[in-house]
A and B are shown apart, each in its own frame.
Chain A
Amino acid sequence: MKYIDEFRDGDLARKIAERLHDEAQGRSYSFMEFCGGHTHAISRYGITELLPANVRMIHGPGCPVCVLPIGRIDLAIRIALEHGAIVCTYGDTMRVPASDSLSLVRAKARGGDIRMVYSATDALQIARQNPQREVVFFAIGFETTTPPTALAIRTAHRERLSNFSVLCCHVLTPSAITHILESPEVRQYGTVPIDGFVGPAHVSIVIGSAPYEHFAQEYRKPVVIAGFEPLDVMQAVLMLVRQVNEGRHEVENEFTRAVTAEGNLTAQALVAEVFELRPSFEWRGLGEVPYSALKIRPAFASFDAERRFGLGYRPVADNKACECGAILRGVKKPTDCKIFGTVCTPENPVGSCMVSSEGACAAHYSYGRFRDIPVRVEVAA
């Protein structure tokens, strides 16, 4: 497909790798790719093998399914099982483990009317078709997914759709990146020297490259916004190596075919009309992160499922054996976790990093775990 295949050319990738080997010299480099989309691309396309040994990629917390705390999924399950509402959700959240050995898919098996939708618009349509039922859209995701939710709320408002509401769990990228570097837990886990960041692809289409400027200056860390195709990632790593070598800490944009400095202003205006900042929000693996999420503005209060059903949030601790907190910060690797690949697998995820295919552990389990064992090739005589 156009604008995809060209950016997966293996010969070009190897040539960018050669240049990287030439230029990444005399020190080690650690870069964090924030987005799960990049984590997935790095594992799936074998980028790890193409990088020089002294360039290490740290997989960040940018997978909205992975960072969704158990307590929020419990809320969605309560709305379905205790309030009898139709809960519409993206497929990604269906298998995330929640309290009481439940998940949305298991709650569905217990009789909860939980429906997988492709779009917030589909949830609206279900509300129109079921005027006698409460319909709740379980809205998760970063800035990419927020504008479609805002659009659904505004449409419901205009149509005076009185049986539709949204359980809003939308989170913000820049505050989470900042949190990685300055949270109190950094002391607990120790610091990992992160030399720079591969910045989000599709999030940046919406918010633009400007929101990272302050971050790059204040923390003196280079940021290179990159597309999700393998050549994009390779090129971004090369651009980061060059910034480090030249002592620069700027925001550079590799994904210029889709990202501008100001982003999608139509989408931003819509999000600002419908949502406002939450003072604090719990991220699975990171804990409470100030001003890192959105809630529905009072003008649209009747569409806020938390108010509508009087839901109180109860945080739920992760499994003690889980190393997700340290892995999300780059202090540990998936293989450093005792339960990785044994108790915790994509079929039966215990911790957040194993939940979605974009999580650090799931990506490593699916594409990288065979690298951990020596491979013996027996050649027939």
Chain B
Amino acid sequence: MCLAIPARLTELLDAEQAIVDLGGIRKQVSIALVPEARVGDYVIVHVGHAIGQIDPEEAERTLAMFGELAAAPAALETTP
């Protein structure tokens, strides 16, 4: 029910509407709840409305954190 998908905003339209790109599929959504969204931003789409935005730097940081985790046990294994 609470499923929502990150989609790239490709075009701003009138009346707080916008076109987003979902892996090649174009869809019109409402951006009334994220009025600050701009073309190129990734918004999180839920029941036809963008309800939030992806912070690209934080996404990188989270992925890097997974990566560091991946490195740590390997380092432990080298010391018997």
Contacts and interface: CB of A to CB of B under 8 A. Distances in A.
Interface of A: 1-4, 6-7, 9, 11-12, 15-16, 18-19, 22, 35-37, 62-65, 90, 92, 118-122, 140-142, 144-145, 147-148, 151, 200-203, 205-206, 228, 231-232, 235, 238, 254-259, 264, 266-267, 270, 356, 358
A257 B73 contact: no
A205 B54 CA distance: 10
18 contacts: A9-B66, A65-B1, A119-B47, A119-B48, A119-B49, A145-B2, A148-B30, A148-B46, A151-B30, A151-B32, A201-B2, A235-B69, A255-B62, A258-B44, A264-B33, A266-B34, A267-B33, A356-B1
A281 B40 CA distance: 41
B49 A148 contact: yes
In this complex, the interface size class of chain B, counting residues with CB under 8 Å from chain A, is: 35 or more
B15 to A, nearest CB: 10
Given A35-B2, A119-B48, A203-B2, A266 B66 contact: no
Contacts of B56: 257
A200 B66 contact: no
Given A206-B52, A235-B65, 15 more contacts: A15-B70, A15-B73, A16-B69, A19-B73, A36-B2, A37-B1, A118-B48, A121-B49, A141-B2, A142-B2, A202-B46, A205-B4, A257-B56, A258-B55, A259-B52
B67 to A, nearest CB: 7
A4 B47 contact: no
Contacts of B3: 37, 202, 228
Interface string B11-54: 00000000000110000001011110000001010111101111
A3 B22 CA distance: 11
A35 B2 CA distance: 9
Contacts of A201: 2
A3 B55 CA distance: 10
Contacts of B63: 6-7
Q: Which 10 A-B pairs give the minimum distances between C-beta atoms? A: A119-B48, A205-B52, A257-B59, A15-B70, A3-B6, A1-B23, A256-B58, A257-B58, A144-B2, A148-B49
Nearest to A238: B69
Contacts of B72: 19
A67 to B, nearest CB: 10
Name the residue among B51, B55, B58, B63 with the largest chain A CB count within 10 angstroms: B51
A167 to B, nearest CB: 16
Nearest to B67: A12
B28 to A, nearest CB: 10
Name the residue among A144, A228, A235, A266 with the largest chain B CB count within 10 angstroms: A144
Contacts of B22: 1
Contacts of A148: 30, 33, 46-49, 51
Nearest to B73: A18
Contacts of A35: 2
Contact of A270 (B33, B62, B76): B33
A118 to B, nearest CB: 6
Contacts of A6: 63
Contacts of A36: 1-2
A358 B54 CA distance: 24
A16 B73 CA distance: 9
A7 B35 CA distance: 27
Contacts of A2: 6, 8, 42
Contacts of A4: 5-6
A37 B2 contact: yes
A12 B34 contact: no
